[in-house]
Amino acid sequence: MSTTRTRAEGALVRDLPPSDRSAMLAPRGSTPVLGTTVSLWRVEGRWSVWSAGPEAGTWWLRALDAAAQDVAREAAARPDSGYPAIVRSQSGCIAVKSKEIRSGGR
């Protein structure tokens, strides 16, 4: 029996259907372009890629709409609410792993 404990996903992270989950986890072979508008797989809102993130394979994103601003505020107030999609929150921005960014900004 495994004694590994998994951390529950935060309230800001939505569940994905199996097809979207497979697409999110598939290798993409590209990196986000600074200044582009993107959406995230499991977090609401439209975001602008601001800079490389605090850890390897992460990116700082700035909120562009009301939904994204709400997410950024909630992530700052309760950091666990964005786990595992949101790695860190600071000054109205969030840091996410590359795999959380939807290619094409859909």
Window from 6-20, 28-42, 43-57, 75-89 with minimum mean pLDDT = 6-20
Chain segment 43-84, per-residue pLDDT in tens:
999 999 999 999 999 999 999 999 999 999 999 999 888 888
Q: Is pLDDT above 90 for 89?
A: yes
Query: In Å, what is the CA distance from 38 to each residue of 8, 31, 32, 45, 100?
Result: 25, 12, 9, 9, 10
What is the token pair recorded at 7?
Answer: 């951390």
Q: What pLDDT is recorded for position 26?
A: 62
The CA distance from 90 to 106, in Å, is 25
